[in-house]
Structure 1
Amino acid sequence: MIASLKYLHLAAMLCWCASLIALPLLLSLYGSTWRNNEGGEARQARYAEFRLITHYGYVAFATPAAVIAIAAGTALIFAAQVFDLWFAAKLALVAGMALVHAWLGHIVLVSAERRGTGWMPSPLYALFIVIPLMMGVLWLVLAKPDLAWMADWLPAFMLAPRGQA
């Protein structure tokens, strides 16, 4: 049971992380095509291609991968009974990845609505945020470091189960 949950979680995490790297690159690549002086039909064809790739990449691939990864990871928490401090740090990094995921969804939506007009921050900023988060998650999972030194900085209510202080 635990092995199959780990496999599902790892496969979904790989797909999710790949999409968090690919989407900013796609948005950046297609965003540069709007600045070209193409004719009406060529520009409309580029827009249709951009819309299809980014929309379905986000809605049909990245988001289901994220949901499956988080659901399998949540099930794995209780199946393997992992309640260490490194795991809490991992969850904080995964929450950061989820925020980047939501921001990329916002960029996909706004870029489709504006059709490349108006100023938007570069989607490549997402890479500068999400790659260190992914590396941190990978390090925490593989190293499982002893983060007991962090317990001195945490409030007492965070170190004891609720109602059992």
Structure 2
Amino acid sequence: MIVAGLKFLHLGAMFCWCAALIALPLLLHFYGSTWRHQTGDQKAQARYIEFRLITHYGYIAFATPAAIIAIASGTGLIFAEEVFDLWFALKLALVSGMALVHAWIGHLILTSAEKRSLHHLPSPVWALMLGVPLMVGVLWLVLAKPDLSWTAEFMPEFLLAPRGQQ
């Protein structure tokens, strides 16, 4: 029962986190480029405030809690299901990449607030171009659970032998 609950929580949080990793760069790219802050222009100021609220709360109140819940419940699943296969290590590497993309999106949101512009930064679309393949890779690894034992011949010996522990 606990494993089923953890899986449900993990899956729901991953869906939310992945949705945010797709939506926030799109908001930054399309919606963020439509406003221009001009002194005395009430409509531009209102659009800027709306843009800031959507991106800030989308990141702080939705994306980050979803990421934390996904990672925490996934960590619980590691030990509940005792999954220690090579495909799982690769999955963790891809999830780490997703966390880096998440942090970079947060940097873009913060910089858009400080500078009121994204023109001096790389396009937020790069976050999509990096994040979506990572998400697809995680999904593929989880569903396929490929046998990656053939990679052992390319690894140094010290990674394959126990280190005096059982």
Question: TM bucket by the smaller chain?
Answer: over 0.9
1:148 aligns with 2:149: yes
Show the counterpart of 2:20. Answer: 19
- TM-score, scaled relative to structure 2: 0.93
Unaligned runs of 5+ in 1: none
TM-score w.r.t. the length of structure 1 is 0.93
Partner of 1:59: 60
In the alignment, what sits opposite 1:114? 115
Consecutive unaligned residues of structure 2, counting only runs of 5 or more, are none
Deviation at 1:164, TM superposition (A): 3.5
What percentage of aligned pairs have identical amino acids?
A: 70
Query: 2:47 maps to which residue?
Result: 46
* Stretches of 4+ aligned residues off by more than 6 angstroms: 36-39
CA RMSD of aligned residues (A): 1.9
- Assess if the C-alpha contact under 8 Å between 2:37 and 2:48 holds in 1: no
| Matched residue, 2:11 | 10
In the TM superposition, what whole-angstrom CA distance separates every residue of 1:40-59 from its partner, at most 9, and x where no partner exists?
11111011001000000000
- What SS does the aligned partner of 1:146 have? coil
Aligned partners of 1:24 and 1:127 also within 8 Å: yes
Equivalent-residue separation in structure 2 for 1:36 and 1:106 (angstroms): 20
Distance change in 2, residues 1:160/1:61 (3 Å):
farther
Following the alignment from structure 1 to structure 2, what is the Cα–Cα distance between the partners of residues 162 and 64?
Answer: 36
Question: Equivalents in 1 of 2:32, 2:87: separation in Å?
Answer: 39
How big is each residue's C-alpha offset from its partner over 1:108-146, in whole Å with a ceiling of 9 and x where there is no partner?
000011112651111011111111111110010000000
CA gap of 1:88–1:117, structure 2 versus 1, over 3 A, is: closer
